Structure 1
């Protein structure tokens, strides 16, 4: 089984998709008008999306750092 097949649907979100959904979640929380239960669910979703975004950013930083390393010629 490949890593992609093992990954849940959230793990296949692109950075841009996760960021856009996170912005939507934040907007809904800031607007208010939701029940406590819905607000908690939104908060949890936002936390999960923030983790996904951070993983993408960490991966990008690793790639940039690797590309900046001098090569042995």
Structure 2
């Protein structure tokens, strides 16, 4: 796992670490206390990913609308 604080991670960093956490939990390769710690970290990583996706969605919305909130011709991306 990385030493980077979760709140400073990029979406990609958080997603990679979340995948690692999920893999360890799915394989059951850690003891109960470590599983609980990993689950908690995974929840914080998921929250970070959600935050970064929301930021991206807001940026896309700002780029694709004019001052009155009308679409400027760009097509919204599904899921963002």
The answer to whether the superposition gives a TM-score over 0.5 is yes
| Larger helix percent | 1
TM-score in terms of structure 2 length: 0.75
RMSD in angstroms over aligned alpha carbons? 1.6
Q: Deviation above 3 Å: which 4+ runs of structure 1?
A: none
Return the offset for 1:71: 4.5
Higher RCO, 1 vs 2 (CA within 8 Å, ≥6 residues apart): 1
Number of residue equivalences: 65
Instruction: Give ranges in structure 1 of 5+ residues lacking alignment.
Output: 1-7
Counterpart check, 1:50 vs 2:38: no
TM-score in terms of structure 1 length: 0.81
Alignment correspondent of 1:61: 57
Q: Summarize deviations over 1:4-39 as a string: whole Å, max 9, x none.
A: xxxx82211111100000000000000003211111
